[in-house]
Structure 1
Amino acid sequence: MLYRKMPKNGDKLSILGFGAMRLPVREDRSIDEPRATKQLRYAIDRGVNYVDTAWPYHMGASEPFLGRALADGYREKVRLATKLPTWMVNSREDMDRFLNAQLERLDTDHIDYYMVHGLTGGSWDKMKGFGVTEFLGSAKADGRIINSGFSFHGRGVDFAGIVDDYDWDFCQIQYNFLDEKNQAGTEGLEYAASKGLGVIVMEPLRGGNLADPVPAEVQEIWDEAPVKRSPAEWALRWIWNRPEVTVVLSGMNEESHIEENLRIADEGEPQSLTVTELQLVGRVERKYREIMKAGCTGCRYCMPCPASVDIPGCLEIYNNLYMFRKEMESKMMYATRLAGIVSADDEPHFASQCIKCGKCVDACPQHLPIPDFLEEVVRDLEGADLRARVETAKRMFVRK
């Protein structure tokens, strides 16, 4: 296992982190605790020392599971990370209530890496209004949290402002070879590192989609490489190639995937890929773009929409549906992200709200027929069961 230092505190963290969002489950969707515990402890025994969870993962069951799984001395072997659920906070008092509950659920007296969860520009302003900076300072002073950070799911244009607005220790961003210009992107990665923040990367495989299934035309490009690697290895090595990255999280739930990721993490040195190898990954990225139904780059020039449609969000999930062919997963993601359940304004942003005013078409640098694409989003991702999916999502993100 390779390790990299957290810039501000010198912590030596394993470059592979264990994400507890996608643990193995039984038929009833509850966590398969014996199997998950064995997997987690095996990874820790092999050198993984960063474990990440959050309040809503596994319908609220992830944190309590980790409290049990990290018994028998395993808690002392890892740095534990979890997050303040911003969408459920309505006062300064809520912050202490959630943190204290998380300490109990995780059966620990401190959180090593505590994040303000899923920030956007709007939700950061909301949390500041509630006193989150005072909360973080107080919780660090009394030892309930050791390092303060934030996870980010907003617009790239808002990222630097959040970085600069508080003395953060670290941040967590979505990053992979398809997301260089999406959300924080490469620009955000480099900016955070330049400010001395450790950077934790989530979704390195886009929820596993960059590893399996791989479109045949993409696999043909991977097969051209002189050094044979799996798609998962290419994707992980591409991220670890960046020296700005501290830890890459993987939501591992198959023993074979854990074994593979551990092996790859023995070789994930920064700047270890050749120019030719990086060019190969670039060709794969462009091929994925060709497969996409809509050529949206996520630049957000089309926003804000007069009808409150989250146009880039709709098109991102629509593209994922056709790139990765996971219909139920895409539909559930659409319901969760676009219903306003975890957004700062608590308002829906569905494609079906489009009024065809045409402002987005005029603003789009790619000159995309956005209203036409939104009609296809409605056809493929909404449907009669949308309300049921929204209600399921709400149950996932409510206080337990």
Structure 2
Amino acid sequence: MSGTTPNSEMQYRVLGSTGERVSAIGLGGWHIALKHVDEQLAIRIVRTAIDRGITFMDNSWDYNGGVSEIRMGKALRDRYRDKVFLMTKIDGRSKKEAARQLDESLQRLQVDCIDLVQHHEILRHEDPHRVFDEEGANAAFLEAKQAGKLRYIGFTGHKDPYVHLHMLEVAAANGFKFDTVQMPLNVMDAHYRSFAKLVVPELVKQNIGVLGMKSLANGILLRSNTVTPIECLHYALNLPTSVVITGIDSIEILEQAFEAVRTFQPMNDEQVRSLLAKTAEAGSRGEFEPFKTSSIFDSTAQNPDWLGEEPQRLQQLMSA
């Protein structure tokens, strides 16, 4: 990202202890390969976002069968790769599967090195143990880092803040500290199994980069008729986030993201309380956060083979 010059339309924040400066808004990779978004529009969205100062690019190995990464790879060709901080996510829990998926992501994105690779969908209490097994995914990440294929390591999840805390504990027990952690941070989250209340303070304490996602939950939050898109983005920006990742599937939605940044002012406690009061009833049961209360958003649950094999030593234990 050496060629980046800060753009007046965008605000920049430091990504935890990495020292990297990244745009306060990140472009979500899932949306650029939805059915109503053709490849030409996807490339235009990505490049327009970069031209106007968005530097953080989100993606995942499993988004839209790999099409999201392929499109982003095409968009980042020429002079665009050096202007962004590129992130993707890997589903593999075994070392073998994680390494395979990472190499596939590198090919699709047409890069030699990805700035940040994250363990995707840490949803279950066993996930941290699988990731940190000696034959687990983090061993693959560390080898890839040594080989220059990635620079920083993080993890993501959308289900339960206690699983995030468990992941941090298991990492610490293995002498490892994450560079980033990604989670849902939105106006409903404060009222139900809240990542903002339980996980964010721990990340701030450890100086780990806070990546917010699902600020509008793919528009689902708006169906509560309690808040506007700009209010949703302002709330997420007001938290100690390094980046608020938002899905952008049109130039109009891209404009909305820039409008949110342009009009953002840090909110005082009273303003935050007033905004959260509007969502208190709607958010109390997790109804508008189905990624917490259903398995619809759990792509690894629907595709368990993406995780790879359980550790060999456990299989041997079972057969002993």
1:148-227 correspondence runs (5 A) = 148-164=153-169, 165=171, 166-180=176-190, 181-182=192-193, 184-211=195-222, 213=223, 215=225, 218=226
- 2:12 aligned with 1:8, yes or no? no
State the Cα deviation string for residues 311-355 of structure 1 (Å, max 9, x = none): x979935xxxxxxxxxxxxxxx63x64993256999xxxxxxxxx
For residue 177 of structure 2, give the secondary structure of its aligned residue in structure 1: coil
Per the TM alignment, residue 84 of structure 1 is displaced from its structure 2 partner at its CA by 1.0
- 2:151 aligned with 1:146, yes or no? yes
Per the TM alignment, residue 273 of structure 1 is displaced from its structure 2 partner at its CA by 1.5
Question: 1-side partners of 2:57 and 2:306: how far apart?
Answer: 30
One-letter code aligned to 2:198? E
Conservation of the 8 A alpha-carbon contact between 1:122 and 1:344: no
Q: Percent identity?
A: 23
Counterparts in 2 of 1:143 and 1:236: CA distance versus 1, 3 Å: same
For residue 220 of structure 2, give the secondary structure of its aligned residue in structure 1: coil
Per the TM alignment, residue 276 of structure 1 is displaced from its structure 2 partner at its CA by 3.8
Conservation of the 8 A alpha-carbon contact between 1:154 and 1:184: no
- 2:138 aligned with 1:128, yes or no? no
Counterparts in 2 of 1:315 and 1:50: CA distance versus 1, 3 Å: closer
The count of aligned residue pairs is 289
5+ residue gaps in structure 1? 223-230, 290-294, 299-311, 318-332, 347-400
Alignment-derived partner of residue 257 in structure 2? 261
Conservation of the 8 A alpha-carbon contact between 2:42 and 2:71: no
Q: 238, 256, 276: which is aligned to 1:241?
A: 238
Question: 2-side partners of 1:62 and 1:46: how far apart?
Answer: 21
Counterparts in 2 of 1:76 and 1:193: CA distance versus 1, 3 Å: same
Q: 51, 55, 69: which is aligned to 1:63?
A: 69
Alignment-derived partner of residue 103 in structure 2? 100
Alignment-derived partner of residue 29 in structure 2? 20
One-letter code aligned to 1:288? A
Alignment-derived partner of residue 73 in structure 1? 79
Question: 1-side partners of 2:142 and 2:128: how far apart?
Answer: 16
Conservation of the 8 A alpha-carbon contact between 2:73 and 2:109: yes
Q: 300, 316, 320: which is aligned to 2:293?
A: 316
Question: 1-side partners of 2:23 and 2:250: how far apart?
Answer: 20
Conservation of the 8 A alpha-carbon contact between 1:123 and 1:343: no
One-letter code aligned to 1:235? C
Question: 1-side partners of 2:113 and 2:247: how far apart?
Answer: 23
Alignment-derived partner of residue 4 in structure 2? none
Question: 2-side partners of 1:132 and 1:265: how far apart?
Answer: 36
Per the TM alignment, residue 183 of structure 1 is displaced from its structure 2 partner at its CA by 5.9
State the Cα deviation string for residues 198-223 of structure 1 (Å, max 9, x = none): 01111011112234x453xx3xxx6x
Conservation of the 8 A alpha-carbon contact between 2:96 and 2:137: no
Alignment-derived partner of residue 277 in structure 2? 283
Alignment-derived partner of residue 302 in structure 2? 341
- Which one has a bigger Cα radius of gyration? 1
Counterparts in 2 of 1:68 and 1:169: CA distance versus 1, 3 Å: same
Conservation of the 8 A alpha-carbon contact between 1:153 and 1:173: yes
Counterparts in 2 of 1:96 and 1:183: CA distance versus 1, 3 Å: farther
One-letter code aligned to 1:2? Q
1:80-95 correspondence runs (5 A) = 80-86=86-92, 89=93, 91-95=94-98
Range with greater deviation from structure 2 (45-54 or 133-142)? 133-142
- Structure with higher RCO (Cα < 8 A, 6+ apart): 2
Alignment-derived partner of residue 7 in structure 2? none
Counterparts in 2 of 1:69 and 1:100: CA distance versus 1, 3 Å: same
One-letter code aligned to 1:239? A
One-letter code aligned to 1:124? P
Counterparts in 2 of 1:99 and 1:51: CA distance versus 1, 3 Å: same
Conservation of the 8 A alpha-carbon contact between 2:159 and 2:293: no
Question: 2-side partners of 1:20 and 1:339: how far apart?
Answer: 17
Per the TM alignment, residue 268 of structure 1 is displaced from its structure 2 partner at its CA by 3.4
Counterparts in 2 of 1:106 and 1:30: CA distance versus 1, 3 Å: farther
Q: 234, 242, 246: which is aligned to 1:250?
A: 246
State the Cα deviation string for residues 299-320 of structure 1 (Å, max 9, x = none): xxxxxxxxxxxxx979935xxx
Alignment-derived partner of residue 379 in structure 1? none
Conservation of the 8 A alpha-carbon contact between 2:183 and 2:213: yes
Conservation of the 8 A alpha-carbon contact between 2:230 and 2:260: yes
Range with greater deviation from structure 2 (259-268 or 188-197)? 259-268
Conservation of the 8 A alpha-carbon contact between 1:154 and 1:183: no
State the Cα deviation string for residues 176-232 of structure 1 (Å, max 9, x = none): 111124263421011112111001111011112234x453xx3xxx6xxxxxxxx11
Alignment-derived partner of residue 324 in structure 1? none
Alignment-derived partner of residue 296 in structure 1? 285
One-letter code aligned to 1:284? K
For residue 46 of structure 2, give the secondary structure of its aligned residue in structure 1: helix
